[in-house]
Amino acid sequence: MSMNILFNLGGPVMYFLALLSIYALAVILYKIHVFREAKFFKSEKLDSSLSLWKSGNRDDAYNLIKKAEHPVEEVASFAMYQLIKNNKPSAKTEEHLKEEIVRLSDERIDYYNSKLTGLQVIAAVAPLAGLLGTIFGMIDAFQQLEHAGKNVDPAILSGGIWEALLTTAAGLSIAIPVVIFESWFRGLVEKLKFTIESSVTQIFTSHII
């Protein structure tokens, strides 16, 4: 069955679902590119830098990641720089520094969280739009039965039903992969958040010791 026939049978709802699928695909490809650029949050230099920091080689640890564009390394290098600059910060200075680190961390997390809400909305709307198209199709099928009067042909009803179900199938076909990718992206962002918190904790703990 060609796409033109499917769209003609599905009606306006199919065109709406097609727009949703195009937008969802664009967002998914964009997010994969963004996460891939960050190597899915696997930092090659971070562990080495933290080891140097814990061993007391503060400058070497900072220099190893100071020019990094990796999200975790950016936050870690910022924390290292501030602690090196303020060797023995007061309680007030340390509190201010922690607030700045949280702000920077939230900026990075928000960046990788961007557009995920759109995928979440599509995952919820697509099945509902498909169901709405099915209801419209069923209404049309029963109207045809009513107009047929006593000359009812079961083929009219059965044909109307399967045509109506096309939109539900289309809606679910969009929603299922979108839910999978959105959940995967959320998991990656949670991993990013955990890694940042763990790295910063190690930096502050080692500095105090």
What digits encode the pLDDT tens for the residues 20-34?
Answer: 999 999 999 999 999
pLDDT of residue 128: 94
pLDDT tens-digit map of 47-71:
889 999 988 888 999 999 888 888 8
Band (194; pLDDT cuts 50, 70, 90): very high
* Domain segments of the chain as ranges: 11-208
Between residues 87 and 51, which one has the greater pLDDT?
Answer: 51
pLDDT of residue 103: 92
Alpha carbon 144 to its chain centroid, in Å, reads 44
3-state secondary structure of 62: helix
Measure CA of the first residue to CA of the last residue in the chain; give whole Å. 70
pLDDT tens-digit map of 150-179:
666 666 666 667 777 888 999 999 999 999
Strand (E) positions, the chain?
A: none
Whether 142 has a pLDDT exceeding 80, the answer reads no
Whether 1 has a pLDDT exceeding 60, the answer reads no
**Could you tell me if 72 and 192 are in contact, meaning their C-beta atoms sit under 8 angstroms apart?**
yes
Q: What is the DSSP secondary-structure string of 157-168? A: HHHHHHHHHHHH
- Taking the C-alpha atoms of residue 1 and residue 13, their distance in angstroms, rounded to an integer, is 18
- Taking the C-alpha atoms of residue 151 and residue 36, their distance in angstroms, rounded to an integer, is 62
Tokens of 24: 């969802």
